[in-house]
Structure 1
């Protein structure tokens, strides 16, 4: 039997904070788009050609939707992060990191993701 699906992902072990940055579209751990790049490159089946931040943002949104639909604990954490940022839109990066740290501790420092 042959598997003709070339878009196979055998899973990636990624930092939970970087995965939550992709799903929530809010940067609180990494410096700029670097955290999203790591998740996109690990989970995308083909290398992307758009090297700018808008290209990575598009692919991060698509991968984030897939992660949220497949992993309910990540979806719940993403909703909590969005609630925090909606209540305080001018929150500082360090303060947001402190508020999100208990969520990350609950899920674990690293997570296995398969899309």
Structure 2
């Protein structure tokens, strides 16, 4: 279990690595980006939660993604959000935080330890 806390909106998602073809197709349509990996899925989920809209599905073009993924920090293509993604054995997780918060303080705590 991961827990995140921040003074500004933050979203987090953790998944067991697996293929989700129907979900990836939906996100590809919704974002206009080619979504093919669980890492991209966790980024999308974290971004959508941070935006405060997780109670509904995103409309077409409403969810802006980073250009790609590797472990570490990425900025969405509109520069509004930063996303941190980590792939480990048996777990992929991402958290997202808004870029306009100067000197924001946040923690991500891994409760598996």
Do these two structures clear the TM 0.5 threshold for a shared fold by scoring above it?
Answer: no
**Structure having the larger proportion of residues in strand:** 2
TM-score normalised per structure 1: 0.30
